[in-house]
Structures are given as C-alpha cells and as structure tokens.
C-alpha cells in the first residue's frame, strides 16, 4: 500500500533564492558600515561635548574614522592622538581650588574640583558633565542610540523603512 502513493515535490527557484541570500550578505555589510559610521560620528560629537576645555586642542583632536569590516567585526576607531588625551580621560579629579598659570599669567581660583572655568561653562550633554571619562561617558550616553541603530540595521537589511 505504501508503494502506491508517490510524492514528487520540486523546488523551483533555489538558485535565485541562493543569489538573493548572497546579495543580502553584501547589503548587510554595507548597511553595517554605514550605520556604525554614523554611530561613530555621534560618539565623536558626544566626546567633543564632554571633553574638558582649556585651550581646545584636545577637543579639536577627537576624531572617529569610517566603519570598516575586519574579519567578523565592524570596527570604528576613534579618539585623540594627543599624548595627554589618555591622562585627561583617566586621571582622577584633584579636589580643591587651584590657580592656573599660562604664558606668564596667573589666574587665581581657576580650577575647582578638577575642572577649569571653561569646562564649567560647557553645557551638559545628555545628562553628563564635561570633564574626565569623556569617551566612556559618550558611549554610555548613546547606549539607546546604539540599540536603535542595531534594530535599524535589521530593518534596512530586510527592506523595511525605518
């Protein structure tokens, strides 16, 4: 009885489906690079907004590159190439009131609890005060943007508008 019933199922279009999947992978990588580059620019904006300001050199030196695929990862490199950038990021605040000496001029009481007058005048960015940990705080402040970006990557990959 079992031999009396034969089913013959043919799948047409598998080659086309495979080509679509191959194309999707390329589009996915392009979308990843695009979205992560935009995210890097947002973190750059936040880092510049949150870095302390004295002369402005450190703020101006912060830059994030375009995203790139490296192996199984998307990499967006950024930060500052100035020698004291890491020190300014990591060094603990020096509590108290201190004078500033610049080019032979004394500015009494310029630094208060580790921040100078120009840094105190900078507005907060997304709830964070400018000063130390400016890169880390920019990342934390953009965490929701990061999550939304990843959803946008999926939506764009599957052809949905966001």
Q: How confident is the model at residue 162 (pLDDT cuts 50, 70, 90)?
A: low
pLDDT tens digits, one per residue of 109-128 = 999 999 999 999 999 999 99
> Which residue would you say has higher pLDDT here, 157 or 38?
38
pLDDT of residue 36: 97
Q: What is the mean pLDDT of residues 34-63?
A: 97
The DSSP output letter for 43 is: H
Counting every residue, how long is the chain? 162
pLDDT of the residue at 19: 76
The pLDDT confidence band at residue 2, using thresholds 50, 70 and 90, is low
Tell me the C-alpha distance between 139 and 146, whole Å.
9
> What's the CA gap between 59 and 44, in Å, rounded?
10
Asked whether 48 and 138 are in contact (CB, 8 A), the reply is no
Please state whether beta strands 105-112 and 97-102 pair in parallel, antiparallel, or not at all (unpaired): antiparallel
What's the whole-model pTM score?
0.84
For residue 18, the model assigns a pLDDT of 75
C-alpha distances (whole Å) from 153 to each of 70, 73, 96, 140 are: 18, 14, 47, 20
């Amino acid at each position: 009885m079992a031999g009396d019933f034969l089913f013959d199922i043919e799948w047409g279009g598998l080659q086309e489906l495979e080509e679509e999947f191959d194309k999707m992978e390329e589009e996915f990588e392009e979308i990843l690079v695009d979205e992560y580059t935009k995210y890097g620019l947002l973190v750059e904006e936040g880092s510049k907004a949150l870095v302390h300001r004295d002369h402005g050199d450190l703020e101006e030196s912060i830059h994030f590159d375009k995203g790139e695929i490296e192996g199984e990862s998307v990499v967006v490199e950024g930060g500052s190439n100035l020698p004291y950038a890491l020190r300014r990021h990591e060094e603990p605040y020096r509590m108290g009131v201190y004078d500033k000496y610049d080019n032979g001029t004394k500015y009494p009481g310029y630094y208060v609890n580790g921040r100078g007058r120009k840094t105190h005048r900078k507005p907060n960015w997304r709830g964070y005060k400018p000063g130390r940990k400016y890169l880390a705080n920019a990342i934390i402040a953009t965490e929701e943007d990061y999550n939304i970006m990843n959803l946008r990557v999926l939506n764009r990959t599957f052809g949905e508008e966001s």
